[in-house]
Amino acid sequence: MLGLSIITFGIYYLVWYYKINNEIRRHDPDIKVSPGLAVLALFIPFANLISGYSTAARIRQMQLDDGASQTISPVVALLLLIFLGIGYPLYVGSALKEHWHGHRRAVRALTSSPAAAALPVGSQPVAALPEVSHPKLNA
């Protein structure tokens, strides 16, 4: 991400920021975010800081909803954005990467269970898979 941002004179950073906010919106429809407005806020003084903090807070909410034990700190993200600009995308990106890896591990655990392995691929309905605990789904 950083290399492409440097090569494209920061344009890729805007694309990346849009995409992560869009991922958050698609992952959890209860988390309200407009990726376009989040990117637009990057051009407005003080609104850019609020947008950076809010994006980190949304990621933290995703992590908490999925039962993560370690979550991103929006305050640390904001401080990185203010004092060490390059640290913000690294910190936020690593938190998102870990979140998506957690989803991949959960899918692997489901598909490697003995019940799932007994049936051919594609023949098992989703409802027959072992139940996954998710706070929003169980509410």
Does residue 123 lie within any of the structural domains?
no
Does residue 125 lie within any of the structural domains?
no
Name the residue range of residue 114's domain. 2-118
Q: Look at the chain and report how many structural domains it folds into.
A: 1
Amino acid making up residue 70: Q
Hey, what's the torsion of the CAs at 126, 128, 31, 94, to 10 degrees? -80
Does residue 128 lie within any of the structural domains?
no
Whole-structure pTM value: 0.74
Does residue 26 lie within any of the structural domains?
yes
Q: pLDDT over 90 for what percent of the chain?
A: 49
Burial class (CB within 10 angstroms; exposed 0-12, middle 13-18, buried 19+) of 17: buried
What are the pLDDT digits (tens) for 31-75?
A: 889 999 999 999 999 999 999 999 999 999 999 988 888 899 999
Does residue 127 lie within any of the structural domains?
no
Does residue 130 lie within any of the structural domains?
no
- 72 in Cβ contact with 92 (< 8 Å): yes
- Taking Cα atoms as reference points, which of 59, 17, 53 lies closest to residue 36? 17
